[in-house]
Every structure is written in structure tokens, then in C-alpha cells.
Structure 1
């Protein structure tokens, strides 16, 4: 089966309610290719490696979380950007990207999917942060910082950066996938035991220690690989598409 590119993008826009988000990059169709989509490739980031594999698979569209045309980047189409765009245009492949809308979706999004993978109960979007990006929930039973780090490692296949604020057990926690380390201060105000994000900054250490909250940096890629996969699976089922999810390794 196949679906028109216009219909596919319109469906995702409505599914993710993308119009309500103020984002750092355009959401939706970023590079126009084929008018019909039969074969869809999904991945976290529209890297050259992902594009090359999509070409090998004769994909009509690539759907990613991290696409192109970020706020503040150079507008020049040279070097790496030229090579990526050339590969897409030469092979008539659509590039479709959704950033914050995919982080925030209540079932298919990165935060919801991470909660599901970790067995976090009662996942709830906290209204204190705009655009539905800070989530809270609780574990079925309290875990020590070491045991929770092991849970992250075993689930995500990546050793997390751990900043343990003493030995207090972890029951209630907050999280936001990707580069969301600065939400640690709002998480601490909520009185949770721990906060998870993908990346950490130098200041994250001081915020965790001084506010008595455990922090886990579980990897930007590792925490955001599940939302795009869930969305791709949903679309493949909805439109009977040939679908390939490519989880290309990234240690960051």
C-alpha cells in the first residue's frame, strides 16, 4: 500500500498536535521528495548514515526526531548540509521531522515511551513546564541509586552518568528526554527523588548535590530512540506501509 506524502504529513500533524508547539526547527515536511510514500524509514537523527541506508532500502520518506534547519544554524548549503540534501533530492526522498511534538505526545512520545520501557507508573505531564515536556511518575518499589542506574543500563544498553545525592531510595521521579538537563531545578521543586534527562551540563552536578536530588544522564540518543520507533510502527499499521526502523548507534 501507499499514501500520499501530503496525507501522511497532515495525519502526523494532527496526531501530534504539532501546531501548538513553538520549536527550534520546523515540524513536518522539511525536504520534498516523492508524492507517494510506500516505504518509510524511521530513525532518531537525519544523519548521512541514516540517509544512505534509506537510499539502499529505496525509501520514499525518512521520518526523524532530529531533522534539519535548526534555529541559529548557518543558512548556507555547503559541506555536510549540501551532501545530505543532495542525497535526499537526488533520490527523491521526503524528509519529515518532528521535534517537541514527538517529545510530548502522551502515548507515542519519547517521554511516554521511556516511562513504559522503565516501568514507571502513573506517568503524568507536569503543568509547571510549558509544552508538556516535564513528566513525573513513580516506581513500583523504591530502588537504591545503584539499582536504578542498573535498571537504566539494562534497559537502554548504555551506562548512565550518575550523580547520587546520598543514599536515599528512589520512588518518585521526574524526567525529560534529550537535552533537558536544566529542568532539574523544576524537578527538585516538585520534591521528587530523582531526575532523568539525556544530557548533562557542568552545572547539573551542582544543582543535584545542592538540592539533594539524584540525577541520571541516560544519553540523548538512548532516551529518544523509542518515540520515533513507536510513531513509525503506528504509521506502518495505519497506512499499511513497508517500514524500517534504523537505530544507528550514538554514544552521546
Structure 2
């Protein structure tokens, strides 16, 4: 009877040998989570270092993924619509040195006096920009619609403007023509590019009738409708875009 009781107690004893591998498994899982956490921490540090490097390159002051979109949402032409007309007086000196600002500012004052004396404030304007002094002339001051020939009655204005361009020392001067976006196709002009180029060239020819101006200082460009300063959605905006510009360059930009 004693032996049977002892055997019964042995049968009822619970086997706990499974706890050892279970504990080992938990230890391994804990170690795995620690390693993963450490890896994620290292990656975060590396990401911060990369972000700082990009910030240093772009000098933006924000995170590398925090830069706003370069174009505003909505109407893609909204930035163009918000541009101010250069027919007026503006100052955006950009990279000009102080001496250049002063010298070009003096020339600007002469042009302003000419504009006021001839009651052309709504047709001519000046802007001191990073490229130089920009004088803007509405196309209706010089040309008939669709024509590149300077009107006879406006050649006197062009010749007076040429007097303003006589400078000592001389400066490089760029004449550029611009149009609105209304297509043109005539026997003489197959595109707005053609029209804008010939307007710039023909206006430049009138200026160079002044013997005090050396043609080597001058160049002409045509941009067609591709550099608007106002929205082409309205007649007022299109009128501002139809223009001839005279860019008086800083002396450091004189072609040798």
C-alpha cells in the first residue's frame, strides 16, 4: 500500500521542463526588440545629419522635406497676374553695387524728368533692377497694331530718348521687344517672335541715327509673348505686355 501511494504522488507531479526554452525564447525576443530599437535610433540620427547637410546646402532654414512648392496651387498663371507693370517707377536693385545704384539712379532721374515734361507717365516707366536700369515703352507710343514700323509722329520721341542714352562713360544697351499672346500671322510676320524682334530692331535704328551713340554698345532681342509682366486674360494686361524695353547695363557689363 505504501508503494502504491508513492507511485500515485509521482504521477500527479507537473512537468515544468518546458519553462526553460520558453524563457530562452522570451530572452531572444527581448534582445531582438532592443537591437531593432537601437537600429531605429541610429537611423534617426543619420536622418537628422542628412537633413542638416541639405539645409546647409540650400540655406533654407527648414527641414529637407519641409520646403514649400515652388509654384502656388491653383491657377498656374496667378504669379504672372500678380506681377506689377514696369510702366511706372520701381526699384529692385538686386545685385547692383552701391556705386552702380548711384550712377544708374542719376540716369533714372533724367529719364523721369523727360517722362514728366512730355506727359508720358502713363506710357513710359523706369525700374532699377538687378540687371540695370530698365526703361519700358508701351507699344502704342511707337507702333500701329501689328506693325513693326515706328510711326513718323513718334520718331521725335525716339530721338529724344536717344539723347538720354548718351553717357560718359558709355554703357551696353539692350533693346527688347515684347508682345501679348494674341497670335499673329501676316505676310510680314508669321509669329509674335518675328514682330517683337523687328520692333526692337526698328526702334534701335531710330536711336542709332544719333551720331553720338556707338552701335557697338547696342543689341536687340525679341521675346514674343513669353515674358509677360501682366495677365493676358484682360485687355489692360495685354496692353502692358505689348512693349519695348531699353535695358541700360551696369558699366561692369560693357562688352569689350
Per the shorter chain, which TM-score range? under 0.3
Name the larger-Rg structure.
Answer: 2
Structure number with the higher strand fraction is: 1
Structure number with the higher helix fraction is: 2
Tell me the TM-score normalized by structure 2: 0.27
